[in-house]
Amino acid sequence: MGGDHGPSVIAPAALGYLERDPDVELVLVGQEDAVRAHLPSGSLPSRLRLRNATQEVAMDELPSKALRNKKDSSMRVAIDLVKEGVADACVSAGNTGALMATARFVLKTLPHIDRPAIITALPSIAGRTWVLDLGANVDCTAEHLFQFAVMGAELVAAVDAVAAPRVGLLNIGQEEIKGNDQVKRAHELLARSAINYVGYAEGDDIYLGNLDVIVTDGFVGNVALKSSEGVAKMIRHHMKAEFTRSLLTRLAGLAALPVLRALSRRIDPRRYNGASLVGLRGIVVKSHGGADALAFRNAIGIAKKEVHEDVPNRIAQRVEQLLGAVEVPA
Amino acid sequence: MGGDHGPSVIAPAALGYLERDPDVELVLVGQEDAVRAHLPSGSLPSRLRLRNATQEVAMDELPSKALRNKKDSSMRVAIDLVKEGVADACVSAGNTGALMATARFVLKTLPHIDRPAIITALPSIAGRTWVLDLGANVDCTAEHLFQFAVMGAELVAAVDAVAAPRVGLLNIGQEEIKGNDQVKRAHELLARSAINYVGYAEGDDIYLGNLDVIVTDGFVGNVALKSSEGVAKMIRHHMKAEFTRSLLTRLAGLAALPVLRALSRRIDPRRYNGASLVGLRGIVVKSHGGADALAFRNAIGIAKKEVHEDVPNRIAQRVEQLLGAVEVPA
C-alpha cells in the first residue's frame, strides 16, 4: 500500500469513505498485518475486504524494475483485480511512473490510443478546469496531443455532465515565435475535428474558468501544475507571516478567520486530489503521495464517479468515432 | 511608444521616476505631439528629453514585418539610441517579439551566444527567483539551456550581488520518464561546469526560495509564468468574493485590510514588472504591455540597475570564460 503514509492514511480514508457512500465496496490491498493495524479490531466493517500483497513498490523505484520484480506488490495486485473484473477501479497513492507502467501492461491501452495520459481537475474562478497530460508523456507529437483532447473532452463530458466541453490547446502568446511545430499541427487537427475546440490557451486560462479542458504535453502540464502549487504555497506562507506579525494583525486574522477558512476550502488542493489515468481499458486513479485521509477519500470519490459514468467505455466509443476512421498515412 | 497605454502611462511614469532618482536622465521616444500631451505644459523637466519617432509597432504586428517596415518606430529609434551610445538602456512596453527581433538585429548577440533570452525575477518565500527563458525561444537544445544558465547566473550575481547564484534546471519529478533529452544533456553540461548548479528543479521551486536562477525553455517558462499569474488572479477573485459575501464578512475584511494590503504589496506583480533581454550587446528591458505608471517605473529601475552593474559586459566576460574555450565538435 503506497504513498508517503501507506495504510496509516489509506485505511482510515477507506473507513471514512464507506461511512459517507453506501453504494461502494472497497478492497484494501496491502500487507495484511500492516493494514489490519490501522483498522478497528474484530470483524471487518461491512463492504470492506482485505487482499494480501506481500511486496511494495518504493516511491523512487524505477517503473521498469517494479513491473519486472514486484508481481505481488499492492499496486500490481490491485490493478490485477481490475483486470479480472473483481474490482471496478484502482486507487493508488504510489509511485506514479510504476502505476502508469503497470496499468498499461496489465490493462492495456485503448484501440487508436498511442499513450495513456494523466488528467486532473484544477479549481478555477468559475468552477474547475481539467488539464492533461500531467507528466506521463514528456515528448508528444501533434497526434498524441489530439488523442489527449479526445480523451479529456469525453471524460469531462461524462464526469461533469457537460455536453460539449470547451477544449483549449496550451501555447504561448507571442506571434511568429508562437508555439512549436507539434502544437501548431495539433491546432490544425483540433480545428477540423468534431471537438468543441476553442483555440490556443495560455497558462492563466487554467484558472480563469473559460475552458473545460486544457491539452498540453506532460512536461509543460507538470510544470504548470507544480508552479501553481508553488504560488499557492508562497501566498499561504506570506499570509501567515502577515497575520502573525503583531497582536493587532493577529486580532485582524481572528476576525477574518471564517472568511479565510472559506477561501481556503475553495482552493484546498485536497479537494482536487485524484488524477485519472486515461486511455486504458480500466479505471485507475492516482492520489497524491502525501495525501491525508480527506484527500484520499476524494480520490476514491473520483474513481467511483468514473465507474458510475462508465468512463473508459465512453472514451473508447468516442475515440473509435473520432480516431477510428482516420486514414493513417503510410 | 508602445504597450496598451502608450504615453498616457509612460510619460507620467518617467516624470515619477525622475523625481525619485536624481542619477538618471530619460529620453522619451515617440510621436512628439502625443507624448507632449501627457507632460506638463511649458519647458520640459530637467533630465528629460524627447525624441520624435513617426511610426509605431502594433502589439500584434509580426516581428519580421516590424523589423522591415518600421525603421522610424519608437521601438527601433530607442534601440538605435542604445546602439549609438546616446542611451545606456532601452525600456519598452511594446510587442515582445518585435522588441527581441529589433534588439537582436540592431545590437547583435554576444559572442558564443546563439540566442538571447528573456529573464525576470519572481517573488519567492525567501526573496526572489529569476527565471529564463520566458518565451523568446520555444525549442531549445542543451547548449541553449546551458547558455541561458551562464547568462542568468551572471545577471543575478551582478544585480542581486550574490557571489555564486544557485542555479536549477526545470524538470519534472518522475523517474525514468524524467525529462526530455535536451534537459538531461543540459544537466550534464551544467554539472561539470563552474556554475553553482544545484540540480533539477520543479515548478514549485520558483516560489520556494531555495534557488536564485531557474533555467528552462521559452515555452515552459512562459507557461509557468502565466499559470502562476492565473492562480494569483483566482485567489484574488475568491478572496474578494468571500470578503464581500455579507455585512459580517465585509467588516472582517475591513479589520484585515492593512494585513491584506501588506500581503498584496509583497506579491504585487507591478513590483516585479520588467523582464530583461539578455545575451545582447546592450541593455533592453521589456515592461508588461498593460503596465501602469508604478509598474513601468519599476522597469526603468531594473534598466538603471543593469547599467550601474554593467551587466552586458559582465555577462560577455563570463560567457567568454565559460563558453569561449569550449571545443565545438564538428
pLDDT reported for residue B271 = 85
User: What is the C-alpha separation between B164 and B211, in angstroms, rounded?
Assistant: 11
Residue A41 pLDDT greater than 80, yes or no: yes
ipTM for the predicted complex: 0.90
- Nearest alpha carbon to residue B28 among B81, B69, B83: B81
B236 touches chain A (CB under 8 A): no
What is the separation, in whole angstroms, between the first and last Cα of chain B? 45
- Nearest alpha carbon to residue B146 among B110, B106, B193, B89: B193
pLDDT reported for residue B180 = 84
pLDDT bucket at B106, cuts 50 / 70 / 90: very high
**pLDDT per residue over A219-254, tens digit each?**
999 999 999 999 988 988 888 888 888 888 888 888
pLDDT reported for residue A325 = 65
* DSSP H or E segment with residue A187: helix A181-191
**Cα dihedral B124/B125/B126/B132 (nearest 10):** -20
Task: Using alpha carbons, list the distances in angstroms from residue B261 to A29, A243, A250, A259.
Answer: 50, 11, 15, 16
**Cα dihedral B240/B246/B252/B255 (nearest 10):** 80
| Among candidates B135, B172, B232 on the partner chain, residue whose Cβ is nearest the Cβ of A174 | B135
Q: What is the mean pLDDT of chain A?
A: 92
Instruction: Could you list the beta-strand ranges (E) of A38-161.
Output: 48-52, 89-92, 117-123, 128-132
Residues of B in contact with A137 (CB under 8 A): 177
The answer to whether the CB atoms of B224 and A218 lie below 8 A apart is no
* DSSP H or E segment with residue A264: helix A247-266
Residue B79 pLDDT greater than 70, yes or no: yes
User: What is the C-alpha separation between B226 and A167, in angstroms, rounded?
Assistant: 18
Q: What is the DSSP string of B41-89?
A: SSSPPTTEEEEE--B---TTS-HHHHHHH-TTBHHHHHHHHHHTTS-SE
Q: Which amino acid is at B130?
A: W
pTM above 0.95, yes or no: no
For residue B114, count other CB atoms closer than 10 A to its CB. 12
Task: Kindly state the cell numbers that stand for A134.
Answer: 500531467
B223 touches chain A (CB under 8 A): yes
Count of A–B CB contacts within 8 Å? 228
B58 touches chain A (CB under 8 A): no
The answer to whether the CB atoms of A243 and B230 lie below 8 A apart is no
Q: How near does any CA of chain B get to the CA of A54, in Å?
A: 24
**pLDDT per residue over A246-305, tens digit each?**
888 888 888 888 888 888 888 788 888 999 999 999 999 999 998 999 999 999 999 999
Task: Using alpha carbons, list the distances in angstroms from residue A317 to A145, A149, A186.
Answer: 18, 14, 21
For residue A180, count other CB atoms closer than 10 A to its CB. 18
**pLDDT per residue over B247-271, tens digit each?**
888 888 888 888 888 888 887 888 8
pLDDT bucket at A87, cuts 50 / 70 / 90: very high
Residue A28 pLDDT greater than 80, yes or no: yes
Contact B156, B165 (CB under 8 A): yes
User: What is the C-alpha separation between B275 and B27, in angstroms, rounded?
Assistant: 20
pLDDT reported for residue B138 = 87
pLDDT reported for residue A291 = 92
B138 touches chain A (CB under 8 A): yes
The answer to whether the CB atoms of B177 and A138 lie below 8 A apart is yes
The answer to whether the CB atoms of B234 and A123 lie below 8 A apart is yes
pLDDT bucket at B119, cuts 50 / 70 / 90: very high
The CATH-assigned architecture of domain A120-270 is: 3-Layer(aba) Sandwich (3.40)
- Nearest alpha carbon to residue B315 among B280, B265, B291: B280
B280: which strand partners? B109
**pLDDT per residue over A147-182, tens digit each?**
999 999 999 999 999 999 999 999 997 544 567 889
Task: Kindly state the cell numbers that stand for B111.
Answer: 559572442
User: What is the C-alpha separation between B215 and B130, in angstroms, rounded?
Assistant: 9
Residues of A in contact with B128 (CB under 8 A): none
State which of A13-27, A165-179, B1-15 shows the largest mean pLDDT: A13-27
Q: How near does any CA of chain B get to the CA of A231, in Å?
A: 6
What is the separation, in whole angstroms, between the first and last Cα of chain A? 45
A173 touches chain B (CB under 8 A): yes
The answer to whether the CB atoms of A223 and B224 lie below 8 A apart is yes
Q: How near does any CA of chain A get to the CA of B57, in Å?
A: 13
Residue B176 pLDDT greater than 70, yes or no: no
Closest-CA residue of A relative to B99 is A174
Residue B236 burial (C-beta neighbours within 10 Å; 0-12, 13-18, 19+)? middle
pLDDT reported for residue B328 = 53
- B-facing residues of A in 269-328 (CB < 8 A) are none
Query: A117 Cβ partners below 8 Å, 6+ apart?
Result: A132, A133, A134, A136, A137, A147, A148, A151, A152, A218, A277, A278, A279
Q: What are phi and psi of A267, to 5 degrees?
A: -115, 15
**Cα dihedral A63/A68/A74/A76 (nearest 10):** 90
Residue A130 pLDDT greater than 60, yes or no: yes
| Helix segments in chain B, DSSP class H | 7-20, 32-36, 63-69, 74-83, 96-107, 142-159, 181-191, 205-208, 218-243, 247-266, 293-308, 311-323
Closest-CA residue of B relative to A95 is B174
Section B73-102 average pLDDT? 96
pLDDT bucket at B310, cuts 50 / 70 / 90: very high
Say whether domain B118-271+310-330 belongs to CATH 3.40.50.300: no
Contact B131, B211 (CB under 8 A): no
Residues of A in contact with B136 (CB under 8 A): 177
pLDDT reported for residue A149 = 98
Task: Using alpha carbons, list the distances in angstroms from residue A51 to A73, A77, A299, B31, B167.
Answer: 11, 8, 20, 77, 47
B255 touches chain A (CB under 8 A): yes
Query: A24 Cβ partners below 8 Å, 6+ apart?
Result: A17, A18, A47, A300, A304
Residues of A in contact with B242 (CB under 8 A): 259-260, 262-263, 266
Q: What is the DSSP string of A102-136?
A: HHHHHH-BPTT-SS-EEEEEEE-SSSEEEEE-SSS
A94 touches chain B (CB under 8 A): no
User: What is the C-alpha separation between A159 and A22, in angstroms, rounded?
Assistant: 20
A189 touches chain B (CB under 8 A): no
In chain A, residues under CATH classification 3.40.718.10 are: 1-113+279-330, 120-270
Residue B74 pLDDT greater than 50, yes or no: yes
pLDDT bucket at A330, cuts 50 / 70 / 90: very low
Residues of B in contact with A227 (CB under 8 A): 203-204, 206-207, 223-225, 227-228
The answer to whether the CB atoms of A219 and B220 lie below 8 A apart is yes
Which of A234, A251, A263, A266 would you mutate first to test chain B, the one with the most B CBs within 10 A?
A234
Q: What are phi and psi of A122, to 5 degrees?
A: -125, 150
Residues of A in contact with B245 (CB under 8 A): 259, 262
Residue B330 pLDDT greater than 50, yes or no: no
pLDDT bucket at B3, cuts 50 / 70 / 90: confident
The answer to whether the CB atoms of A175 and B253 lie below 8 A apart is no
Which of B128, B129, B227, B235 would you mutate first to test chain A, the one with the most A CBs within 10 A?
B227
Say whether domain A1-113+279-330 belongs to CATH 3.40.718.10: yes
pLDDT reported for residue B205 = 96
Closest-CA residue of A relative to B170 is A223
Residues of B in contact with A170 (CB under 8 A): 223
pLDDT reported for residue B279 = 97
